[in-house]
Amino acid sequence: MKLLLDSTLCQGYGLCREPAPELIDLDDFGYARLLETSVPPAGEDAARAAVAACPNSALRLGK
């Protein structure tokens, strides 16, 4: 599973980081930055929660 970020959709709310801090970091302005694109099996629930937490659909899961 891959975590994908469309940075043009990110508005800097920072809500995605809380469920997945091992996958997502925030820059100085609150915009998401992926630490990992490949999601390990143990992190799949956190990745799904991060995708669900994004109000602008800037994150999505892929293969």
For the segment 1-57, what is each residue's pLDDT rounded down to a tens digit?
Answer: 999 999 999 999 999 999 999 999 999 999 999 998 999 999 999 999 999 999 999
* CATH architecture of the domain covering 2-62: 2-Layer Sandwich (3.30)
Report the predicted TM-score, pTM, of the whole model to 2 decimal places: 0.92
SS3 state of residue 6: coil
User: Alpha-carbon distance 14 to 58, whole Å?
Assistant: 11
Task: For residue 63, name the pLDDT band (cuts at 50, 70, 90).
Answer: confident
pLDDT at 26: 97
